[in-house]
A and B are shown apart, each in its own frame.
Chain A
Amino acid sequence: MELGHVVVLAGGLSYEREVSLRSGRRVTDALRALDIPVELRDADATLLDSLTDDPPDAVFPVLHGAAGEDGSIRDVLDLLGVRYVGARADACRVAWDKPTAKSVVRRAGLRTPDSVALPKEVFHDLGAASVLDQIIRGLGLPLFVKPTRGGSALGASVVHEPSELSAAMVGCFAYGDAALVERYIEGTEIAVSVIERNGRPQALPAVEIVAPGALYNYTARYDAGDTEFVTPARLTPDAAERATAAALTAHRTLGLRDLSRTDLIVDPDGEVHFLEVNVAPGMTETSLLPRAVSVAGLDLGEVCRDLLLTQLTTT
Chain B
Amino acid sequence: MEQHSRTDAYTDRYAARAAGMVPSEIRALFAMVARPEVVSLAGGAPYVSALPLDAVGSMVGDLVAGKGAEVLQYGSAQGDETLRELICEVMALEGVQGSADDVVVTVGAQQALDLITKIFIDPGDVVLAEAPSYVGALGTFASYQADVVHVPLDDAGLIPSALRDTLDRLRREGRRVKFLYTVPTFQNPAGVTLTAARRTQVLEICAEYDVLVIEDNPYGLLGYEGEPMRALRADDPDRVIYLGSFSKTIASGLRVGWVLAPHAVRAKLVLAAESAILCPSNFSQLAVREYLLTQPWREQIKAFREMYRERRDAMLDALDQLMPDGCTWTRPGGGFFVWATLPEGLDAKAMAPRAIADRVAYVPGTGFYADGGGRRNMRLSFCFPEPHRIREGVRRLAAVVEKEIRLRDTFGGVEHDGPGGVHTPGPGIV
- Least CB distance, B323 to chain A, in whole angstroms: 20
Q: Which residues of A contact B5 (CB under 8 A)?
A: 228-229, 231, 291
Per the bound structure, the CA–CA distance linking A155 and B350 in Å amounts to 10
Evaluate whether A225 and B410 lie within 8 angstroms (CB atoms) in the complex, with A13-B32, A14-B32 already known: no
Q: Is the CB of A128 within 8 A of B3?
A: no
Known contacts A13-B32, A13-B35, A229-B6; is A167 also within 8 Å of B22 by CB? no
Which A254-294 residues sit within 8 Å CB-CB of chain B?
A: 286, 291
Q: Which residues of A contact B25 (CB under 8 A)?
A: 154, 218-219
The residue that A219 contacts in the complex, of B2, B24, B351, B354, with Cβ under 8 A, is B24
Residue B7 interfacial (CB < 8 Å): yes
Interface size (B, Cβ < 8 Å)?
A: 45
Report whether B3 and A295 are in contact in the complex, using a CB–CB cutoff of 8 Å.
yes
Task: Please count the residue pairs between chain A and chain B whose beta carbons lie under 8 angstroms apart in the complex.
Answer: 118
Chain B residues whose CB sits within 8 angstroms of the CB of A45 once the complex forms = 36
Is the CB–CB distance between B410 and A124 below 8 Å? yes
* Binary contact track A6-27/B, C-beta < 8 Å → 1, others 0: 0000000111111101000000
Highest count of chain B CB atoms <10 Å: which of A15, A174, A231, A232: A174
Give the shortest distance, in Å, between A147 (CB) and chain B (any CB): 10
A224 surroundings in chain B (CB, below 8 A): 7-8, 11, 22
* Shortest Cβ distance from A169 into B: residue: B411
> Which residues of the partner chain B approach A286 to less than 8 Å between Cβ atoms?
7-8
Q: By the criterion of a CB under 8 Å from any partner CB, how many residues of chain A are at the interface? A: 45
Chain A, residues 223-249, CB within 8 Å of chain B (1/0): the string is: 111111111111000000000000000
* Given A44-B35, A220-B7; A123-B418 close (CB under 8 Å): no
List A contacts of B410 (CB < 8 A). Answer: 120, 123-124, 128
Interface status of B23 (Cβ within 8 A of chain A): yes
User: Given A234-B2, A291-B5, are A223 and B23 neighbors across the interface (CB < 8 Å)?
Assistant: yes
A73 to B354, CA, bound (A): 22
Bound together, the chains give a CA A120 to CA B80 distance in angstroms of 61
> In the bound complex, what is the Cα–Cα distance between A205 and B31 (angstroms)?
32
Q: B28 interface residue, CB < 8 Å from A?
A: yes
| Distance, CA A171 to CA B411, complexed state (A) | 11
Report if A15-B2 is in contact (Cβ < 8 Å); known contacts: A154-B353, A219-B24, A223-B23: no
With an 8 A cutoff between CB atoms, is A221 at the interface? yes
B207 within 8 A of A: no
Across the interface, B407 reaches (CB within 8 A) one of A44, A170, A221, A222, namely A170
B14 cross-chain contacts in A, Cβ below 8 A: 225
- CA–CA, A274 to B130, complex, Å? 50
Would you call A103 an interface residue if the criterion is a C-beta within 8 Å of the partner chain's C-beta atoms? Answer: no
Chain B residue nearest to A174 in the complex (CB): B353
Cβ-closest chain A residue relative to B29: A15
Which A residues touch B414, using CB under 8 A? 166-167, 170
What's the least CB distance linking B106 to chain A, in Å?
29
Report the bound CA distance from A45 to B5 in whole Å: 39
A13-B37, A154-B353, A227-B7 are contacts. A128–B411 as well, Cβ < 8 Å? yes
B385 close to chain A: CB less than 8 A = no
Chain B positions 6-26 with a Cβ under 8 Å from a chain A Cβ? 6-12, 14, 22-25
Asked if B407 and A120 make an inter-chain contact with CB atoms under 8 angstroms apart, the answer reads yes
A-B contact pairs, 17 of them (CB 8 A): A14-B32, A15-B357, A120-B410, A124-B406, A166-B412, A170-B407, A170-B414, A170-B416, A171-B418, A219-B420, A223-B8, A223-B22, A227-B7, A228-B5, A229-B6, A231-B2, A231-B3
* B interface, CB within 8 angstroms of A: 2-12, 14, 22-25, 27-29, 31-32, 35-38, 350-354, 356-357, 406-407, 409-412, 414-420
Contacts A13-B37, A175-B353, A225-B8 known; 13 new A-B pairs at CB < 8 A: A17-B35, A21-B31, A123-B410, A124-B409, A128-B410, A154-B353, A154-B419, A171-B350, A173-B407, A174-B419, A218-B25, A223-B22, A225-B6
